Structure 1
Amino acid sequence: MNRRLALLAPLAFLLPFPALAEKIPLGAISDYLNGLSTVEADFTQVNSDGSISTGKIFIKRPGRVRFEYAPPDRSLVIAGGNQVAIFDAKSNQPPERYPLKRTPLNLILAENIDLSRAKMVVGHTEDGSSTRVRAQDPENPEYGSIELVFTANPVELRQWVITDDLGAQTTVILGEMKKGGQLGARLFDITAETAARGD
């Protein structure tokens, strides 16, 4: 599978987290994720082959995300309209498209996130500095999983690790998040982006 469809999962790769914390309850994590409307942040991505990419991420819940990869990569991943499109900067072909529901990222882009749903959370641990929650689509575990890493006081999403349907892992580490700003619909418009690129 294309390394970006993973989006897009992981190493034992942790940021320096603050002091010891108790495990954050799933209800508090669900509330935090549901409270995120828009997010902008820089990100570092550790790919399954060990290579590292950087860029900027834009999230607009529900259902929309944009990964802009920094030069020399210049690739782009957009989720919008229930689709994920992967624009390969090295290709003059139209973007690869997949249903968003087939990617683990759909679990944090859903309109109403409820991590207490049966069989959704398959791991919930705390290591003294962070809480890790591994989730999958209860109806379609074969689509892969996403492991979210949070710090507490206040709850903050720091990174995620996506394991795709082939077992490949990609880690996305978030920089400081700017929340609640205005993000235009054009950022998440796959059709407009395709036209602008002449694909």
Structure 2
Amino acid sequence: MIRRDALLFGLAAAFTLSTSAWALDRALTPDEQTMIDKIGAHNSAIRTMVGRFLQIDTNGGRSEGTFFLERPNKIAFRYAPPSREEIVSIGNGFYVLNRRDETYYAYPQDTIPLRQFLGDKINLMDANVIDVKTSDGYLTVTVIDETVAGTVQVSLVFGTDTLDLVQWSLVEPSGAELTFSLYDVEKDQKIPRAFFSIPANYKPLKQG
């Protein structure tokens, strides 16, 4: 089973735009600033996305699934069997669903930094950027976020030609690492409303 904390770190930290004492220790070059501005504008213009993802953990464990995003404030990550986990955001909170047990855990929307990526506009420089690197056709932006569980570091990788997010790697407060890669991505697809909902028969669970 995929840990709920890992699920939420993988989503929330990857797109965080919150503030803290961390900061980039050098000035961005004009080319870097231009590229970051283009990435923000490009991704802000994408209203819906669907695709597949691959998650690899510290021990080499692999999990796959599909994701669905509709701007603003809606996203769903469905993990493939044998996992029965699913994450859904429907604007007022994040929910980790267990499709086998028909239960879910709820997290307030304002405690998860992903809410800002799901908004109408994205500006990476509003995040706690500590490093920016360009190499082999990719721009990597590394940010630090102070979450309710501790400090998370995440590196977001964008294609310099496509401006699309292709991968993110994060380090949890425990030191564990997770890497998420996106592929088979399609934009501006119609997504059924049911994908961003919680079935009426699912029962809420208390966080432990």
Instruction: Normalising by structure 1, report the TM-score.
Output: 0.75
- The residue that corresponds to 2:72 in the other structure is 62
Q: Is the 8 A contact 2:57 2:179 kept in 1?
A: yes
Give the AA of the match of 2:72. Answer: P
1:72 to 62, 82, 97: 82
Equivalent-residue separation in structure 1 for 2:154 and 2:120 (angstroms):
17
- CA deviation string 1:29-65 (max 9, x = no partner): 1111101110000111113443110111001112211
1:153 to 154, 161, 171: 161
Equivalent-residue separation in structure 2 for 1:98 and 1:143 (angstroms):
18
- Secondary structure (helix, strand or coil) at the match of 2:5 reads coil
Worse-matched range after superposition: 103-112 or 167-176 = 103-112
- Secondary structure (helix, strand or coil) at the match of 2:125 reads coil
Residues paired across the two proteins, number: 183
Task: Looking at secondary structure, tell me which structure has more helix per residue.
Answer: 2
Equivalent-residue separation in structure 1 for 2:153 and 2:120 (angstroms):
18
Equivalent-residue separation in structure 1 for 2:112 and 2:169 (angstroms):
12
- The residue that corresponds to 1:16 in the other structure is none
- Secondary structure (helix, strand or coil) at the match of 2:44 reads helix
Q: Using the TM superposition, give the Cα deviation of residue 71 of structure 1 relative to its aligned residue in structure 2, in angstroms.
A: 1.4
| CA pair 77-49 structure 1, distance change in 2 beyond 3 A | farther
Q: Using the TM superposition, give the Cα deviation of residue 144 of structure 1 relative to its aligned residue in structure 2, in angstroms.
A: 3.2
| CA pair 163-186 structure 1, distance change in 2 beyond 3 A | farther
- The residue that corresponds to 2:114 in the other structure is 105
Within a 5 Å distance, the mapping from 1:1-199 to structure 2 comes to: 2-8=5-11, 25-89=35-99, 92=101, 94-117=103-126, 120-136=128-144, 142=150, 144-189=152-197, 192-193=198-199, 195-197=200-202
Of all paired residues, the percent bearing the same amino acid is 24
| CA pair 109-131 structure 1, distance change in 2 beyond 3 A | same
- Secondary structure (helix, strand or coil) at the match of 1:95 reads strand
Q: Using the TM superposition, give the Cα deviation of residue 115 of structure 1 relative to its aligned residue in structure 2, in angstroms.
A: 2.0
Equivalent-residue separation in structure 1 for 2:41 and 2:146 (angstroms):
20
Q: Is the 8 A contact 2:72 2:120 kept in 1?
A: yes
Q: Using the TM superposition, give the Cα deviation of residue 183 of structure 1 relative to its aligned residue in structure 2, in angstroms.
A: 1.5
Q: Using the TM superposition, give the Cα deviation of residue 142 of structure 1 relative to its aligned residue in structure 2, in angstroms.
A: 4.9
Q: Is the 8 A contact 1:61 1:109 kept in 2?
A: yes
Equivalent-residue separation in structure 1 for 2:121 and 2:146 (angstroms):
15
Equivalent-residue separation in structure 1 for 2:8 and 2:195 (angstroms):
18
Equivalent-residue separation in structure 2 for 1:75 and 1:89 (angstroms):
6
Q: Is the 8 A contact 1:120 1:138 kept in 2?
A: no
- The residue that corresponds to 1:18 in the other structure is none
Give the AA of the match of 1:125. Answer: K
Q: Using the TM superposition, give the Cα deviation of residue 163 of structure 1 relative to its aligned residue in structure 2, in angstroms.
A: 3.9
Instruction: Normalising by structure 2, report the TM-score.
Output: 0.73
Give the CA RMSD over aligned residues.
3.1
| CA pair 140-77 structure 1, distance change in 2 beyond 3 A | closer
Q: Using the TM superposition, give the Cα deviation of residue 149 of structure 1 relative to its aligned residue in structure 2, in angstroms.
A: 0.7
